[in-house]
Amino acid sequence: EQQLMLATQPDADLGLKLYLQPKVSLPDGQIAGAEVLLRWEHPEKGLISPAEFIPLAEESRLIVALDRWVFARSCRLLQESTAAGYQLPRISINLSAKQLQEPDLVEWCANTVKRFGLDPGCIELEITETAFINLADTVLERLQALRNTGFSLALDDFGTGYSSLTYLRRLPLDVVKIDRDFVADLCQDERAATLLQGVMQLLDKLDFSVVAEGIETTEQSALLHSIGCNVGQGFLFHRPMPADEFIALYYHEA
Ligand code: G
Ligand code: G
Ligand code: MN
Ligand code: NA
């Protein structure tokens, strides 16, 4: 337990690095934010994707410490950037399902942003749909409290869960992220495009901001924009990159 506590300290060197993937406004590509994605620099094997180690960490409470380390590191990045004269756009941080089971989640997040002198409004928390399969009242209250504290909440991987529409009705959300499987099918499959067009109208009526993930082609980008999606993320625009590269890119563009 003590080791878990230590590991959440942002200066602990775990061989882990924060990468940032820009979110851009469609269609002009201006940077509107960034998602923090973890990378593990293994001394022999090189860069290891979180797709390989996050599922393992999720089998135990290690994921709680890992997510909190990412959160604290991200706060430190924002603080240090501001001190160096670089004001970064809003940063999105992934929270795993297990995190929502932690009774001290809200207090910990609020204390951590305060410790770094940050406004919670500069952080968005991304939570994958499948985290809500067992939607307990305590979880709903925790989400509401996070939002009341000032964090934005994003529903990640929208459309892949079992009751996506229920989540839209019940969860206190600001942003919905369209899963990249939808985006991948968009230009080959007319029914996928029609479905997404209807979904976009629905999300617009419910006043959610929408981000499309996994945009790889200009055709996808143009189609998404034509059906009302104003923000996107994907290899077409930028791959995830080290934080210093992101800052250079953002300030070069700004
Ligand atoms: O960056 P990449 O696409 O390889 O990420 C693979 C998976 O790992 C994605 O599902 C992504 O959401 C997840 N992931 C990346 N960084 C983090 C993190 O800091 N915390 C959690 N919980 N998941 C992450
Ligand atoms: O689960 P989550 O949505 O957080 O996953 C983010 C993952 O998606 C990261 O691992 C990131 O590297 C990956 N990703 C980002 N853009 C693209 C893209 O355009 N195509 C594909 N295939 N993956 C992407
Ligand atoms: Mn995500
Ligand atoms: Na996602």
User: In a mutational test of the pocket of ligand 1, which residue from 38, 40, 127 has the highest number of ligand atoms less than 8 Å from its CB?
Assistant: 38
Atom of ligand 2 nearest to the CA of 215: 19
pLDDT at 8: 66
Atom of ligand 2 nearest to the CA of 49: 10
Residue 195 in contact with residue 203, Cβ under 8 Å? no
Pocket of ligand 1 (CB under 6 A): 37-38, 49-51, 54, 67, 70, 94, 96, 240
214 alpha carbon – ligand 2 mean position (Å)? 6
User: In a mutational test of the pocket of ligand 2, which residue from 47, 178, 182, 235 has the highest number of ligand atoms less than 8 Å from its CB?
Assistant: 235
Which residues have a beta carbon within 5 Å of ligand 4, which is an ion?
156, 213
pLDDT at 27: 86
234 alpha carbon – ligand 2 mean position (Å)? 7
Distance CA 128, CA 63 (A): 14
Structural domain boundaries, residue 202:
2-253
Q: Evaluate if pTM is beyond 0.90.
A: yes
**DSSP 3-state of 176:** strand
Please count the structural domains in the chain.
Answer: 1
CATH code of 100's domain: 3.20.20.450
Distance CA 107, CA 88 (A): 24
pLDDT at 43: 83
Q: How many CB atoms lie within 10 A of CB 59?
A: 9
Amino acid at 140: L
Ramachandran angles phi, psi of 34, nearest 5° = -160, 145
pLDDT (tens, 9 = 90+) of the chain, 254 residues, equals 455 555 566 666 678 999 999 999 998 999 999 999 999 988 888 889 999 999 999 998 899 999 999 999 999 999 999 999 999 999 999 999 999 999 999 999 999 999 999 999 999 999 999 899 888 999 999 999 999 999 999 999 998 887 889 999 999 999 999 999 999 999 999 999 999 999 999 999 999 999 999 999 999 999 999 999 999 999 999 999 999 999 999 998 76
Closest CA to 89 of 35, 162, 158: 35
pLDDT at 195: 93
